[in-house]
Amino acid sequence: MTSTKEAIAPWFKEVLACPICKSDVELSGNVLTCVNGDCRSQFPIVDGIPVMLPQLNRHHEYEKQYFDQEFMRYEKYALENWRISYIKRIFGSLSISSSVTDSYLDIGVGGSGYTVIEAVRRGNKSVGLDVSIEGVKKAQYFARSELGEKSNLCGFAVGLAENLPFKNECFSKLSSIAVLEHVPNDKQAMAEIARVVKPGGEVFLTVPNTYQRIVPIFWLPYYFWDKKIGHLRHYKAEHLIAEFVSHGIITEEIAYSGHMIKLFQTLLSRLSGNFEKNAAKMWWQIESMDSKMSKLAYGLQLHLTMKKCWANHPEQSESVINQKLRV
Name the residues that contact Zn ion, by CB under 5 A.
Answer: 18, 20-21, 23, 34, 36, 39, 41
Nearest distance from C-beta of residue 36 to Zn ion, angstroms: 5
Residue closer to Zn ion by CB (options 168, 319) is 168
Residue closer to Zn ion by CB (options 15, 320) is 15
Residue closer to Zn ion by CB (options 42, 95) is 42
Residue closer to Zn ion by CB (options 21, 229) is 21
CA distance to 122, 300, 306, per residue, from 99 (Å): 8, 33, 21
3-state helix, strand, coil in the chain (%, to 5): 45, 25, 30
Nearest distance from C-beta of residue 32 to Zn ion, angstroms: 10
Nearest distance from C-beta of residue 33 to Zn ion, angstroms: 9
Residue closer to Zn ion by CB (options 152, 163) is 163
Nearest distance from C-beta of residue 11 to Zn ion, angstroms: 21
Three-state DSSP class for residue 120: helix
Is the distance from CB of 266 to CB of 300 less than 8 angstroms? no
Smallest CA-to-CA distance from 157 within 69, 32, 29 is with: 32
Nearest distance from C-beta of residue 305 to Zn ion, angstroms: 33
Residue closer to Zn ion by CB (options 16, 119) is 16
Interatomic CA distance for residues 118 and 97, integer angstroms: 10
Q: What is the DSSP string of 145-168?
A: HHHGGGGGGEEEEE-BTTB--B-T
User: Going edge to edge, which strands form the sheet with 197-208?
Assistant: 154-158, 125-130, 103-107, 171-177, 197-208, 301-308, 249-257
Nearest distance from C-beta of residue 14 to Zn ion, angstroms: 17
Query: What is the DSSP pairing of strand 197-208 with strand 171-177?
Result: parallel
Task: Let me know the angle formed at the C-alpha of 107 by 102 and 110, rounded to the nearest 5 degrees.
Answer: 115
